[in-house]
Chains A and B, each alone.
Chain A
């Protein structure tokens, strides 16, 4: 067995293809990592700038009702491995009680040149997707067919070794060879990475997960190549079929699925029905507000009341994201003594209306959540599942999950923004902010923003990443195992 492995290993290591593959992988990974690191640093800088700007903006506001509170999503350092949705989706979300932030409402801080998005980002996983699969096939196509052609297969089989062992020896030695470029290029990438970006232990574990997945992916393609090699007579035929398979799995299939799958059902009808439901909630809120004004006896005089306090109300629904924006804003800087009589009413007004807005936004959120899932997420999930019929899809999904740049990873952030919104509302209740004078006018002292709870967001724990990535990783491993058993069976039954 050891002899077999050693023989195969030497056979593989001293070839032109090994040198070529090693060189190309190294070059591509290093070049791309350097570019990606620069890109990441730029995004980090823009994030820091945005945080500073939003902080300054918040401090400029003197009253609660004119508060501009924005939170930013930091770029994920592991997006260098698989960028996923990290760069594509919004990274800036407004926070206030009359609005539940969603992924689709988010905007972009620091817009890059939008046209540059034309050139698809080349993360390390993309390089691996293409190169590792090619490598696996190139190393495997002549493993059996080549020996058969040269006639050495007979010699080997004449020895008292079992056929399964021969295959295993071939597999192990090829894997060792193939791991060299993989590990070497990763080490180079990590060397570059750690010099400029600090990574935590958990990040290293995540990277280990990515490496493990890459290994399973590589091995899968090696086995596909071996299968082709075991079933064909001539090496050039084997190589050609392998290339067709590669072209189909890597190039054609992933792009084909979007073309064939019909974009999800009747999106417009779904949007309309959800919008109507949300509109009812918003109207209910508006009615309650009106009722209050009537009860307080300022309804007929409403314009006077509004004008004196500079109240600007807004309640509209975003037609795309279905988010209701419920706002009551006061833009005055002081209240003249004759209008001091309105202040108690205004305090009661805000204390009554603002919690109402918060509740309405939350009620709408229950409908909105379902609708957004139907409109945006379901189609994406179907596409992803279909994509998994090709190993590329599984590999991509698994590495995204490890890196935390998949949809769930990004949703974690918006989960956190919604939690923060709750915290903020609780804080307003605790400090009686809703019924305070500083809510709408700052002539007797501005709001002290220092006691405001801070927003914190930490990427999900490594355990969560693993939980999201493991199903796909297991899928890859099972495919590996099934293919290997299949090859052994074919090889045992084949004649020499």
Chain B
């Protein structure tokens, strides 16, 4: 078996396709690294500036008074850019990198512009697509996901299309099978040979890429990031094996190598290029989008209802507990309702997105894209994770407010109303801070299914290739 593998590798090393593959992969990986080095520091800078500003805001509010902090809330939350952004861009420009803490919503003013009624802060999820003002051509990023998903898979087919049909054409297949080698050994030898000879240029390109990225002092990769890179590399091998197995399968069934390549190409175009978008469009057209006007129509009655319900208290100037509690309830319910409404909308949208993503998983290219996104910490799932983080923090923040208030015996414990709360100053350092995180173990668990699915594809295709090869006649 090793003999066959070695022979395959030597065969390939001197071929034109090997040279072309090496050049192509190197060019792509170098471009990827250069671009990452140019843009990542800017991205990190932007993030840090934004976070500092948001923390400053929180400190200012806490300095001002406890009530200001409760009323205006913490500053906006920002999504931490992943250091592995170069692995998968994951449609980042289409996703918002922040969750907004909305400024208090002015409900009513008197004739002198004094605010009579103001609803405290709430979370909202801005839509990034409105921020996109570019009029340039629509092209995707050259990231690892693209290089592996599209280029490497195509190359894998170019390496295997003539594995058997080519030998059959040249007549060397008879020679091999005339030796006392079992057929499965030949098949596995061929597979390993092709895998190794495509892995060599890929490893070379990856090493150059990582060398460029890790030696630059602007980008810092942690041990965890290296672990993630290792997983992504293994995924790339698994994914390449899938296409190698497909190539072997078709190659055993088809007599002529050119026909085999043609069949493979058409399959590749269908599964990798067309399937993801077509299926997603079909899936998303099942559930119609809610239009902007409808959304506003749903939104408005929410607030009007509430001001009627609490009319008795919200316009009153009295300072008794009942009135204050009524006001507090009004605020709480108002914030709760608008947050629930916004979250519901986000849920609706992401459910639609999840459906589309689930269906496109039939295409291995999308499967790989999702997996790389998950391990690189970018993309849609990451966005949802970030949103969840902010929601958790918001709960924590509100609990902190209640606890702090409870700690003051002079307070009337009516949250949200200036007169009903602790009047003590609060130290900004005591307020919990938001930190966006993502950890590996969680990603791994969530993704195990998809990895297994990918592995299953490989096994099925390999066994199919084996069956086909065992039954194939040599002439």
Contacts and interface: CB of A to CB of B under 8 A. Distances in A.
Interface of A: 16-17, 20-21, 24, 28, 31-32, 35-36, 38-39, 42, 46, 49-50, 53, 85, 88-89, 103-104, 107-122, 127, 130-131, 134, 138, 141-142, 235-237, 239-241, 243-244, 247-248, 251-252, 254-260, 262, 307, 320-321, 376-377, 379-380, 383-384, 387, 393, 396, 407
A126 B276 CA distance: 14
Interface string B149-177: 01100100010001000100000000000
Given A35-B281, A247-B154, A103 B293 contact: no
Contacts of A112: 289
Given A109-B293, A387-B137, 7 more contacts: A49-B293, A130-B274, A134-B269, A241-B16, A256-B142, A259-B141, A259-B142
B263 interface: yes
A244 B24 contact: yes
A113 B24 contact: no
B352 A108 contact: no
Contacts of A32: 278, 281
Interface string B241-268: 0000000000000000111011101100
- The B interface is mostly helix, strand or loop, or mixed, namely helix
A462 to B, nearest CB: 24
A28 B297 CA distance: 39
Contact of B158 (A50, A235, A243, A252): A243
B380 A118 contact: yes
B401 to A, nearest CB: 32
Contact of A115 (B20, B32, B94, B150): B94
Contacts of A120: 138, 140, 277
B266 A20 contact: yes
A396 B137 contact: yes
Contacts of A383: 136-137, 139
A243 B135 contact: no
10 contacts: A31-B282, A32-B281, A104-B133, A119-B356, A134-B269, A138-B265, A237-B16, A252-B151, A256-B31, A380-B137
Contacts of B16: 237, 240-241
Mostly, the A contact residues are helix
A376 B135 contact: yes
Considering residues A103, A258, A383, which has the most beta carbons from chain B within 10 angstroms of its beta carbon? A258
B209 interface: no
Interface of B: 16-17, 20, 24, 27-28, 31-32, 34-35, 38, 91, 94-95, 111, 127-130, 132-142, 146, 150-151, 154, 158, 162, 166, 257-259, 261-263, 265-266, 269-270, 273-274, 276-278, 280-282, 284-285, 288-289, 291-293, 295, 349-350, 352-353, 356, 360, 380
A116 B289 contact: yes
Contacts of A376: 133-135
B289 A243 contact: no
B142 A31 contact: no
A129 to B, nearest CB: 10
Contact of A117 (B94, B158, B291): B94
Contacts of B166: 236
B20 A17 contact: no
B288 A42 contact: yes
Contact of A103 (B24, B94, B135, B138): B135
A237 B284 CA distance: 42
Contacts of B356: 116, 119
Given A88-B138, A243-B158, A108 B133 contact: no
A256 B17 contact: no
A321 B162 contact: no
A379 B94 contact: no
B475 to A, nearest CB: 19
A307 B113 CA distance: 10
A89 B135 contact: yes
A24 B270 contact: yes
A122 B281 contact: yes
Nearest to B132: A88
Contacts of B17: 240, 244
Contact of B291 (A38, A39, A111): A111
B269 to A, nearest CB: 6
Contacts, number: 202
Nearest to B263: A20
Contacts of A379: 136
A353 B409 CA distance: 58
Contacts of B28: 252, 256
Contacts of B277: 119-122
B172 to A, nearest CB: 14
A118 B94 contact: yes
A126 to B, nearest CB: 8
Given A32-B278, A252-B28, A239 B133 contact: no
B139 A28 contact: no
Contacts of B132: 88
A235 B258 contact: yes
A-B complex: 10 closest residue pairs judged by Cβ atoms: A119-B280, A380-B136, A110-B291, A114-B129, A112-B289, A115-B353, A122-B277, A35-B281, A113-B349, A259-B35
Contacts of A240: 16-17, 158, 261
Contacts of B20: 244
Contacts of A237: 16
A35 B137 contact: no
Nearest to A262: B38
Given A32-B278, A121-B281, A20 B129 contact: no
A380 B269 contact: no
Contacts of A16: 259, 262
A421 B74 CA distance: 42
Contacts of B95: 115
Among A116, A138, A235, A262: residue with most chain B CB under 10 A: A116
Contact of A113 (B142, B263, B281, B284): B284
Given A20-B266, A255-B141, A407-B135, A130 B273 contact: yes
A47 to B, nearest CB: 10
A236 B258 contact: yes
Nearest to A129: B273
Given A252-B28, A255-B146, A115 B380 contact: yes
A141 B269 CA distance: 18
A24 B295 CA distance: 40
B333 to A, nearest CB: 27
A241 B158 CA distance: 10
Contact of A239 (B134, B261, B353): B261
A396 B137 CA distance: 9
Contact of B278 (A28, A53, A407): A28
A324 B17 CA distance: 58
B274 A127 contact: yes
A16 B35 CA distance: 43
A380 B136 CA distance: 4
Contacts of B281: 32, 35-36, 39, 119, 121-122
A254 B139 contact: yes
B41 to A, nearest CB: 14
Given A35-B281, A122-B281, A131-B269, A49 B135 contact: no
A108 B130 contact: yes
Contact of B139 (A42, A108, A131, A255): A255
Nearest to B90: A118
Contact of A46 (B94, B136, B265, B291): B291
B289 to A, nearest CB: 4
B25 to A, nearest CB: 10
Contacts of B258: 141-142, 235-236, 239
Contact of A20 (B91, B136, B262): B262
Nearest to A126: B277
